[in-house]
């Protein structure tokens, strides 16, 4: 299983007008025909964030963050979003592959100088495969991006069937390994956000 890169518009807090976010996605797809394969939006259950992903295999999309941010500023009331270009590094099918994933769990953390090698090995060899094997996990992916400050950031995303997956004994066991404790000591400025999917837009098919 492979995944394209994505331009992510990350709002904090989530905009109150979800319809405006969906309209923005449709207008961006129409303005740049052929650029985006899919757009999906996920709103934090506590309203703290909204993640709007513009998925694309076109390398030209990597420089479009400013354009999408300007469109967003004029289309969605509230604060301006951060624009991040996500480069895929890992993509695994979950134990519940093929089931409907109504929820999306995101873990973001800065990658400290000197810690990237261990963090990558931990995710690749233990953490992402372990979480992917938990019932209720539909898909697990990890990306890297660059913050506005110029530091690298890791973004792990899990499409899941229920928010309660975080309390599943198998999920907790993966989180509580010795290697997890060592790797997590390197985390800085970490966000853990459980979201609900609010829409998916596929060019030519409309929103769902």
Which of 123, 19, 5 shows the shortest CA–CA distance to 54? 5
**Tens digit of each residue's pLDDT (9 = 90 or more) over 167-196:** 999 999 999 999 999 999 989 999 999 999
CA distances to 25, 35, 105, 203 from 31, rounded to whole Å, are 10, 9, 30, 12
The answer to whether residues 25 and 41 touch, using CB atoms and an 8 Å cutoff, is yes
**Using CB atoms within 10 A of its CB, is residue 89 exposed (0-12), middle (13-18) or buried (19+)?**
middle
pLDDT of 202 over the 50 cut:
yes
**Tens digit of each residue's pLDDT (9 = 90 or more) over 85-115:** 999 999 999 999 999 999 999 999 998 888 8
Averaged confidence pLDDT in the chain: 94
pLDDT of 1 over the 60 cut:
no
Calculate mean pLDDT across residues 26-30: 95
In b/e form, how buried is each residue of 138-169, taking b as 16+ CB within 10 angstroms?
bbbbbbbbeeeeeeebbbbbbbbbeeebbebe
Q: Which domains are present in the chain?
A: 5-207 (3.30.70.100)
Residue 157 in tokens: 């995303």
Overall pTM surpassing 0.85 (yes/no): yes
- Beta-carbon contacts of residue 121 (< 8 Å; ≥ 6 apart): none
Between strands 38-44 and 188-202, the pairing is antiparallel
């Amino acid at each position: 299983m492979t995944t394209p890169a994505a331009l992510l518009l990350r709002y904090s807090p989530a905009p109150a007008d979800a319809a405006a976010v969906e309209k923005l996605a449709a207008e961006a797809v129409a303005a740049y025909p052929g650029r985006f394969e899919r757009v999906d939006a996920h709103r934090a259950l506590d309203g703290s964030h909204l993640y709007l992903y513009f998925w694309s295999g076109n390398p030209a999309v990597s420089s479009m963050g400013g354009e999408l941010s300007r469109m967003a500023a004029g289309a969605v009331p509230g604060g301006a979003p951060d624009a991040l270009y996500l480069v895929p590094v890992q993509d695994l099918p979950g134990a519940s592959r093929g089931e409907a994933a109504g929820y999306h769990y995101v873990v973001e953390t800065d990658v400290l100088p000197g810690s990237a090698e261990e963090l990558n090995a931990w995710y690749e060899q233990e953490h992402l495969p372990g979480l992917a094997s938990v019932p209720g996990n539909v898909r697990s992916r990890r990306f890297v991006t660059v913050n506005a400050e110029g530091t690298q950031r890791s973004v792990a995303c899990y499409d899941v069937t229920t928010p309660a997956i975080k309390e599943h004994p198998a999920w907790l066991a993966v989180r509580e390994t010795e290697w997890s404790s060592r790797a997590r000591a390197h985390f800085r400025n970490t966000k853990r956000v459980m979201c609900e999917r609010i829409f998916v837009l596929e060019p030519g098919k409309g929103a769902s």
